[in-house]
Structure 1
């Protein structure tokens, strides 16, 4: 058979090794996967039990003797520890388990959530718990298994040429926008199909139109109608204000619930429901109408204060996902980072009554979808692997003897100058330093090299060819080159080899 990942042939191998006996933990592992909420999503449990536990849990090879790199087995020096024992134990040894270098084990273990990708689920859902059971140590409280980010339905792969450099995306749109898009699109346990169009539309709709526009409009209205500082006198309307206020005050608890289940996309969805409701609240209360009546200014101040509070709560909860952008929002709405904390995300009236706002930069500039898609597709195309051209090697010439070969004198020569031969499209005339008296060689490589590309290069020449005239120009030798699918390629020589050196 062949490896499903790399495609290489599988070969039989035999060596002495130690094994970790897994079977004693089979029953406990099955109950862990099927009767507890350890594995998230739970749907993965049936797959693991049916494929690896029900057929009989196989012992795990944990040492090798066919190589020497790795961690030596303390009781048998010809063995080295082999995955997954050495890799998985890092989770606790890095915290200080059985070593004096670190001292965080008691503080951080067991982990609340251990998150891994689906391709290494078996090692973390079966082997790692068995190791911890053998050590009589507590297991992580949950194991969350996420899918892959695919590109237009395909797994991202350099060989497929469908990878967009995340650094390029970060520079174009900001890391916060990219992080938000990926987290919003990926449901736990499922693959997330990434496409440039989906990403740009998500940035435009959620971040530019909804969140960015909400902050911009609210701050602009406070500046326009109150010179940036809200008055102490405000009027609130329980009927008109209640839905926005209740939604904002309840969102933290909903987000907590989804985060506990590692349903990050749903947590973000709840936060943006508040953002959408705040935008709708602007349309319902029409601050621009209230501003026209001086007697309604207290009500206008109350509306804007409610909007600022809703923005404060939403931005506080969004901070873990967009840590660079949210502080910019806090600065604009007049709140310090200390006050934008988790506890305050469940409270109302945290902002000062006379809060002062500050005009800031556009948080998420709107993107021209068609133009961006075209440019990003061009980047992908530029990074795609070039299609290899097929090449059929020509048949071998008739056999010669060593004596025949020794009749040819091959030398290294340096190109001193080069120019095109008049009346010829194919010929270049080269002046060469051959380590002797110098020579002139005419070569049919003008279609493949500009004269200046050859000057200073060292080449291989057949030095003892009988002189001939080509287009009236004498040639004393021949440049060695080869035919390729891309045309003729001159065989250049390392610059450290002196001119005149004999090739054998």
Structure 2
């Protein structure tokens, strides 16, 4: 498994699939009030009429049990693959529902809210599931969604919000401010290389002055 392939996988799956999805649904363009919107039951039922929404809900509901089995068998890579599949479906769902179009029409706010809710709930569950693999990134994601530290154990990912009986659907605020979940590896490498060049120039100047 080459370093180049590892970097490509990290960039495409973490930066694009997970990071970009989180940035888009949490960004001020679609979410100016910086909220984890309440789940609107009627709009959620309507949303499920769509093929991609129904598929995403199915995948999210199955994910915890699938990953628990993989972790139990020490097959961590399979758990990661399962999460990646969910993220691919989530991104397809996000693209096909076109929340940026709904944002233009105030009368479509409830429809937009349910798309944001389902997307954020997917990210919440993926964040908890990924804690054994990428703890720092998972923490950053869950912090952004304002998920309490006492609500991050495995039991908290087993039941998605839309399956909670008698739950009170309340809008909650997310963490405000610029959010970059994952910086592409080549960008970090470039910064390090630039810093090395700066240090070399400083060292050369010192030699000349001496």
Q: TM-score range by the shorter chain?
A: 0.7 to 0.9
State which of 75, 87, 96 in structure 2 corresponds to 1:263: 75
State which of 103, 111, 114 in structure 2 corresponds to 1:291: 103
- Higher RCO, 1 vs 2 (CA within 8 Å, ≥6 residues apart): 2
Residue 247, structure 1, aligned to residue 59, structure 2: yes
TM-score, normalisation: structure 1: 0.33
State which of 336, 345, 353 in structure 1 corresponds to 2:157: 345
Whether the 8 Å contact between 2:25 and 2:119 is mirrored in structure 1 is yes
> 2:113 maps to which residue?
301
State which of 171, 179, 204 in structure 2 corresponds to 1:361: 179
SS at match of 1:267: helix
Distance in 2 (alpha carbons) for counterparts of 1:326 and 1:231: 21
Distance 1:338 1:367, change over 3 A: same
TM alignment of 1:410-489, pairs within 5 A? none
Distance 1:239 1:341, change over 3 A: farther
Distance in 2 (alpha carbons) for counterparts of 1:232 and 1:319: 25
Query: How far is 1:231 from its partner?
Result: 5.2
TM-score, normalisation: structure 2: 0.76
Identify the structure with the greater strand proportion: 1
Distance 1:229 1:260, change over 3 A: closer
State which of 306, 309, 324 in structure 1 corresponds to 2:136: 324
> 1:425 maps to which residue?
none
Identify the structure with the greater helix proportion: 2
Q: Which ranges of 4 or more aligned residues in structure 1 deviate by more than 4 Å?
A: 230-233
Give CA deviations for 1:201-244 in whole Å, capped at 9, x if unaligned: 122111111111111111115x6444112554732122233221
SS at match of 2:136: coil
Aligned-pair Cα RMSD in Å: 2.3
Distance in 2 (alpha carbons) for counterparts of 1:224 and 1:346: 28
Distance in 1 (alpha carbons) for counterparts of 2:154 and 2:76: 17
Residue 214, structure 1, aligned to residue 5, structure 2: no
Please tell me whether Structure 1 or Structure 2 has the larger radius of gyration of its CA atoms: 1
| Gaps in structure 1 of 5+ consecutive residues | 1-192, 376-504
Distance 1:297 1:354, change over 3 A: same
> 1:227 maps to which residue?
33
Distance in 2 (alpha carbons) for counterparts of 1:199 and 1:280: 24
Distance 1:283 1:225, change over 3 A: same
Distance in 2 (alpha carbons) for counterparts of 1:303 and 1:216: 14
Whether the 8 Å contact between 1:327 and 1:337 is mirrored in structure 2 is no
Whether the 8 Å contact between 2:22 and 2:123 is mirrored in structure 1 is yes
Distance in 1 (alpha carbons) for counterparts of 2:8 and 2:36: 35
Distance 1:322 1:225, change over 3 A: closer
